[in-house]
Amino acid sequence: MPDPQPPSAPAVPPTPPVPLSALLAREDLALRQIAGPSDRGTVIHWAHTSEMADPYPYLLGGELLLTAGVHVPGAAGSGTYFDYFDDYVSRIVAAGGAALGFGLAPVHDTVPPALVAACDAHALPLLEVPPQTTFSGVARAVWQLMAQARLAELRRVTEAQQGLAVAASRPDPVPSVLRQLAQRVTGRAVLYGPDGTAIASAGREPAAEASAALAELAAVVRPATARPAPSSATDTVCGSHLAAYALGTGQGFVLGVASPQRDPADHTIASVAAVLLSLLTGEHRSGAGAARSSALVRLLLGAPPEDVAPLLGAGRWVVVHARPDQQVPDALAASALGAALGSALFDLADGVVRVLLPADHEPSAQPGWSLGVSAAVAPRDWPAADTQAARALARARATRTSVVRHGARPSLADLVQHDEADAHARALLTPITARPALTETLRTWLSLHGSWDRTAVALSVHRNTVRQRIARCATLLDTDLDDPDVRMELWFALRRI
């Protein structure tokens, strides 16, 4: 069977490369380069041992190939047979091998001179492996260096993601994200508009030819009705690595990046920036985003909620309060919860996520979350619904229930004139209303049927604190809280304040 044709550009595994110079610097290995270019940019992706006369079929590219020369004919070991070594080295280079390590002893006392000459001729780095260094030790050192490189890569990506997120929250988010991206990839970042014009850019500008090529690359990924367009494209011009990313707004925005290098970390960082820019450009261009912005501005300027609500596209609303069962929520968790419930109107404060939902969006249980849901209300009653949701959440957490909804059915208290009921509630509760902690503790304790433990969970306080507060309420109100009639009257009163 004929040999496969040598690939024009051997593929290397998607692992962080290890500089050959870092391996040579390991004093415990005592490796010595004796042939080939001393380019500090030479990298290896792994170590592989083979004593095959033709290792080509067993190489994937990027390897440091280790051999003790068992396959070398006897006469070749004395320095003759240059053609043999020339064929051997040329096959390693054709397979994409990055370097060759030749072990001394037990087969050869020295590296064959013909092998040294062949490696020089084919520009393949040749390392002399001393007798005290095992091939497994070399392979272990490669993996150690690779793990260090992987950790450094992950740290770099994490720091870049954090920097980009902070940039996206600034008053000028688009230019800030571009500046942060250009800094992280040590290059140039450009945002192209739907007509191909550079709207904003940051970083060091590459050569004029590379800049022109980047604009052309952006046109390749820009959506067009006449042809399908890829989501990204890459090229290399004048030593600059170019990449273009179509932003997912459907408006034709494209992110272009020109950098001196392109590795998996650079691609990940640029992809994160593309997602952020997609959100930023989409929010400003979409009608929904503009309506939400208008609603927020009008509320801040004092417009009544009922005047603002039509901009948000619904008549009646429910408010949802949510807390994770385990950890404290962050912005990403809040955004994910809002998306799961079907609303972009969410807020995170004091460990609680609040979501404003149209009444026809029925909130469902979310794994790992406790939810409190208000009654459906008109916009003018949003503050009251917020309070209802908060109390429902406290009950959900206390009873370990995934979703608790505020009861909206009429009660006996509704049969009494509201003015009279409010006056009676104020008079009855006056001794404790100046102390919100006592009022809320009494309300929660009554709603949980006098359970000390559940009330403590709902209020995030110690059960002894609950006992002390309830005892204080009983003293100030001068009443017996064990009397069910007293509890009922207090409960009706508490619902009026």
Kindly tell me if the per-residue pLDDT of 10 is higher than 50: no
User: What are the DSSP E strand ranges found in 16-124?
Assistant: 18-19, 32-35, 43-44, 46-49, 63-67, 99-103
Residue where the block lists tokens 């820019």: 277
Same domain? For 126 and 198 the reply is no
pLDDT at 5: 43
The token pair that represents 395 in the structure block: 């009950």
Q: Is residue 149 part of a domain?
A: no
Whether residue 322 is contained in a domain is answered as: yes
> What local confidence, expressed as pLDDT, does residue 68 receive?
94
Does some domain include residue 13? no
Per the CB < 8 A criterion, the answer to whether 393 and 343 are in contact is no
CB of 248 closer than 8 Å to CB of 282: yes
Any alpha helices (H) in 122-207, and if so which ranges?
135-168, 173-185
pLDDT class for 15, splitting at 50, 70, 90? low
Q: Are residues 207 and 271 in the same domain?
A: yes
Q: Is residue 301 part of a domain?
A: no
CA–CA separation, 269 vs 178, rounded Å? 12
Q: Which residues contact 228 (CB under 8 A, 6 or more apart)?
A: none
**In terms of domains, do 265 and 207 share one?**
yes
Between the alpha carbon of residue 153 and those of residues 263, 435, 462, the distances in Å are 10, 54, 45
pLDDT digits (tens, 9 = 90+) for 375-407: 988 888 888 899 899 988 988 888 888 899 987
Strand ranges in 17-149 using DSSP code E only, listed in sequence order? 18-19, 32-35, 43-44, 46-49, 63-67, 99-103, 126-129
Output the pLDDT for position 279: 79
For residue 106, say if its preceding peptide bond is cis, omega within 30 degrees of 0: yes
The answer to whether residues 117 and 45 belong to one domain is: yes
Residues 53 and 132 in one domain: yes
Out of 285, 302, 324, a domain closes at 285
What's 33's domain CATH number?
A: 3.40.1390.20
Q: What is the pLDDT of residue 263?
A: 80
User: The domain that contains 451 carries what CATH number?
Assistant: 1.10.10.2840
Question: Is residue 108 domain-shared with residue 193, that is, in the same domain?
Answer: no
Query: What is the chain's alpha carbon radius of gyration, rounded to the nearest angstrom?
Result: 35
Compute the average pLDDT of residues 346-353: 86
110 and 27 in a common domain: yes
Kindly report the backbone phi and psi dihedral angles of residue 379, in degrees, each rounded to the nearest multiple of 5, phi listed first: -55, -35
Which residues, including other chains, have CB under 8 Å from residue 442's CB and lie 6 or more apart? 432, 469, 470, 473, 490, 494
Please indicate whether residue 150 or residue 114 has the higher confidence score (pLDDT).
114
Residue 466: pLDDT over 50: yes
For residue 153, being part of any structural domain is answered with no
Q: Are residues 178 and 268 in the same domain?
A: yes
Kindly state whether residues 39 and 137 are assigned to the same domain.
yes
Does the pLDDT value for residue 360 go beyond 70?
yes
Q: Are 486 and 470 in contact (CB under 8 A)?
A: no
pLDDT reading at 284 higher than 50: no
320: nearest Cα among 375, 381, 242: 375
- Output the domain CATH number for residue 217: 3.30.450.30
pLDDT tens-digit readout, 438-460? 999 998 999 888 899 999 988 88
Structural domain of 204: 170-285
Q: What mean pLDDT is predicted for residues 185-213?
A: 90
Answering whether pTM is above 0.75, one says no
Write down the pLDDT at residue 2: 40
**What letter represents residue 11's amino acid?**
A
Looking at the structure, tell me whether residues 134 and 192 fall in a common domain: no
Residue 350's region, left for phi above 0, alpha for psi from -120 to 50, else beta, is: left
The angle formed by the CA atoms of residues 166, 169 and 175, to the nearest 5 degrees, is 90
- Assess whether 477 and 420 both reside in one domain: yes
Provide the pLDDT for residue 320: 94
Assess whether pLDDT exceeds 60 at residue 80: no
